[in-house]
Amino acid sequence: MPEGHSVHRVALQFQRDFVGHAISASSPQGRFAEGASVLDGLTLREAKAVGKQMFLGFDTVSVVGTAVRRVDSGVWLRVHLGIYGAWDFAGAVSPLFSRARAGVNGGAHSVGAPRGVGARSDVLSATEGQRRNVRVSEDERDLGVSLDETFPHEPVGAVRVRLLTESTVADLRGPTACEVLDVAAVQLVLNRLGPDPVTDLGPEAEQRFVDAVTRRKVAIGQLLMDQSIVAGIGNVYRAEILFRAQLSPYTPGNLVPVDTVRALWHDWCVLLPIGIRKGKMLTRLGEDAPVRDIRAERYWTYKREGLPCRRCGSNIRLDVMGARKLYWCPGCQT
Binding mask 251-290 for Zn ion (x = CB under 5 A): ----------------------------------------
Nearest residue (CB) to Zn ion, 48 versus 244: 244
Contact with Zn ion (CB under 5 A) among 106, 129, 273, 331: 331
Active site residue 2: yes
- Does position 159 interact with Zn ion (CB under 5 A)? The reply is no
**Is the N-terminal amide bond of 308 cis, ω within 30° of 0?**
no
**Taking the complex as a whole, how short is the minimal distance between the CB of residue 329 and Zn ion, in angstroms?**
3
Residue type, 107: G
- Reply yes or no on whether 52 is catalytic: yes
Least distance between Zn ion and beta carbon 288 (Å):
23
Q: Is 3 a catalytic residue?
A: yes
Residue of 309, 317, 327, 328 that binds Zn ion (CB under 5 A): 309
- Nearest-10 crossing angle of helices 258-278, 4-17: 40
Separation of alpha carbons 309 and 305, rounded Å: 9
> In this structure, what are the phi and psi dihedrals at residue 250, rounded to the nearest 5 degrees?
-90, -5
**Of 155, 310, 324, 330, which one is the catalytic site residue?**
324
| Host H or E run for residue 89 | strand 86-92
Q: How far apart are CA 222 and CA 218, in angstroms?
A: 7
Residue of 74, 85, 73 lying closest to 178 (CA atoms): 85
Within the chain, residue ranges assigned H as helices are 4-17, 33-39, 99-102, 118-125, 183-191, 203-214, 220-223, 235-244, 258-278
Q: What backbone phi and psi angles, to 5 degrees, belong to 273? A: -60, -35
Q: Which residue in 3, 138, 140, 240 is the catalytic one?
A: 3
Q: Are 307 and 316 in contact (CB under 8 A)?
A: yes
Region from 52-60, 158-166, 295-303, 322-330 binding Zn ion, contact rule CB under 5 A: 322-330
Quick one: 90 or 309, whose CB is closer to Zn ion? Answer: 309
Contacting residue, 158, 211, 312, 322, with Zn ion by CB under 5 A? 312
Rounded-to-integer distance, Cα 172 and Cα 89, Å? 9
**Beta strands of 103-183 (E only): which ranges?**
131-136, 141-142, 159-164, 168-173, 177-181
For residue 217, indicate whether it is catalytic.
Answer: no
Q: Which residue lies nearer to Zn ion by CB, 105 or 334?
A: 334
Letter for the amino acid at 271? L
Name the one range near Zn ion by CB under 5 A: 106-114, 175-183, 274-282, 307-315: 307-315
Determine the interface stretch with Zn ion among 80-88, 196-204, 271-279, 324-332 (rule: CB under 5 A).
Answer: 324-332
Q: Of residues 9, 52, 160, 277, which has the active-site annotation? A: 52
State the catalytic residues: 2-3, 52, 324
Which residues of this protein are in contact with Zn ion, per CB under 5 A?
Answer: 309, 311-312, 314, 329, 331-332
